[in-house]
């Protein structure tokens, strides 16, 4: 699974248990699906999932993990990926932009990416099959990249894993139907009827288009003009999400909440984000009763390893290594909020016990259910 800021990898089982505790949860809309990890967990639990993200690479992950039905596509994609893996390397746009002018991958792997991507384009595949092939290529590149997880500045000395050969694997797609959308969250919220909406927006200035521009260019294959040391697509300069702006995030959130047509909401946010916990509770309480749990979390990888210069040398210290992920539960009925909070607490509590953190249990999660409408 790819490295991604704000990914809810560790929270997926808890989110799935929380969603299951709503009285209706057969159809779930994930409005900011990112890697599709949460949406995939929900699909695996037997729900019909609609996953939305405005970026092309994220919508491609959703088409692969949510929309593609393994009973229809697994055999064909396994054959296709085996054939693609035989494609000999041939340097092109990707190698020049991201392996010579910038240092995302080593050039021998860049040449494989170029050749495989051209072959995928040449075959004019049906959307689901193309998405599975593209995700296989993205994940293969991610395993041999030379970044600290962000595609903004690269290590001056090649990372150890970047010396490995790029290896395509078949993504772990699931049987059953689902849908992928590539819309602004507010439009997806207005268009989709579902029982539960899972809402996990960006929470600070870091733009996903900028942080993951290599994947956006790889998936779109539009070979754009680039700028700066990381060779970002030119479009990164003016493609901004409301959720990356301290000034606009409140209005962006309100617009999504006004538009959303689901009975129940589960909202993820971080205690270091642009919206304070109490402000979030106030905004959400317009939609129903609100409760939340807080989960103690490791900070993202950039923060874990400290502040580095382009030579990969540590030049700064990190203020703290842990933060909190909030899960807000919103529903018309108070009892429903209580039931979902109980399910979340049980799930998180069990996980911290199982990981031997019994004595830290009280620190690792807390909950409040104090709000009235």
Ligand X SMILES: C[S@@+](CC[C@H](N)C(=O)[O-])C[C@H]1O[C@@H](n2cnc3c(N)ncnc32)[C@H](O)[C@@H]1O
Interaction site with ligand X (CB under 6 A) = 4, 6-8, 32-35, 37-38, 53-55, 58, 184-185, 200-202, 208, 241, 243
Strands 314-316 and 307-308: antiparallel
Q: Kindly state the greatest CA–CA separation across the chain.
A: 63
Contact 106, 146 (CB under 8 A): yes
Of residues 80 and 218, the one with the C-beta less far from ligand X = 218
C-alpha triplet 198, 199, 203: angle, nearest 5°: 150
Smallest separation (angstroms) from ligand X to the CB of 278: 21
**Structure token digits, residue 265:** 């909401």
Q: What's the min distance (Å) between Cβ of 256 and ligand X?
A: 8
Residues pairing with 269 in the sheet: 326
Minimum CB–partner distance for residue 212 and ligand X (Å): 8
Per DSSP, the three-state class of 225 is coil
Instruction: Give the span between the Cα atoms of 40 and 44, in whole angstroms.
Output: 6
Residue closer to ligand X (CB basis): 9 or 314:
9
Specify the residue, 41 or 89, whose C-beta has the smaller distance to ligand X: 41
**Based on CB atoms, which residue is closest to ligand X, 117 or 213?**
213
Closest to ligand X by CB, 40 vs 263, is: 40
d(CA 361, CA 200): 25
Task: Please state the closest distance from residue 209 (CB atom) to ligand X, in A.
Answer: 7
Residue nearest to ligand X (CB): 34
First-residue to last-residue Cα distance in the chain: 40
How far apart are CB 25 and ligand X at their closest, in Å? 17
């Amino acid at each position: 699974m790819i490295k991604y800021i704000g990914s809810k990898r560790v929270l997926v089982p808890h989110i799935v248990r929380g969603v299951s505790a709503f009285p209706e949860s057969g159809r779930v809309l994930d409005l900011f699906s990112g890697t599709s990890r949460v949406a995939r967990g929900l699909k695996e639990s037997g729900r019909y999932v609609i996953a939305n993200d405005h970026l092309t690479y994220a919508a491609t992950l959703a088409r692969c993990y949510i929309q593609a039905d393994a009973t229809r596509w697994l055999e064909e994609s396994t054959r296709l990926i085996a054939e693609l893996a035989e494609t000999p390397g041939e340097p092109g746009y990707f190698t020049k932009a991201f392996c010579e002018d910038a240092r995302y991958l080593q050039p021998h792997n860049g040449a494989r990416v170029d050749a495989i991507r051209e072959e995928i384009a040449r075959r004019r595949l049906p959307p689901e099959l193309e998405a599975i092939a593209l995700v296989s290529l993205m994940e293969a590149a991610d395993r041999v990249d030379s970044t600290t997880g962000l595609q903004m500045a690269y290590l001056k000395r090649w990372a150890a894993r970047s010396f490995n050969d790029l290896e395509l694997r078949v993504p772990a797609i699931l049987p059953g139907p689902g849908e992928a959308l590539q819309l602004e969250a507010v439009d997806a919220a207005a268009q989709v009827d579902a029982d539960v909406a899972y809402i996990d927006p960006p929470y600070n200035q870091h733009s996903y288009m900028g942080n993951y521009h290599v994947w956006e260019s790889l998936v779109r294959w539009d070979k754009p003009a680039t700028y700066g040391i990381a060779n970002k697509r030119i479009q990164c300069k003016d493609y901004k999400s409301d959720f990356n702006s301290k000034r606009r995030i409140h209005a962006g959130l309100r617009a999504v909440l006004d538009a959303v047509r689901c009975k129940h909401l589960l909202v993820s946010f971080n205690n270091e984000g642009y919206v304070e916990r109490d402000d979030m509770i106030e905004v959400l309480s317009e939609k129903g009763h609100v409760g939340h749990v807080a989960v103690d979390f490791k900070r993202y990888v950039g923060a874990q390893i400290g502040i580095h210069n382009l030579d990969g040398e540590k030049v700064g210290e990190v203020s703290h290594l842990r933060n909190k992920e909030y899960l807000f539960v919103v529903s018309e009925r108070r009892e429903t909020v209580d039931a979902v909070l109980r399910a979340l607490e049980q799930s998180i509590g069990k996980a911290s016990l199982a990981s031997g953190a019994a004595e830290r249990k009280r620190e690792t999660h807390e909950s409040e259910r104090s709000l009235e409408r």
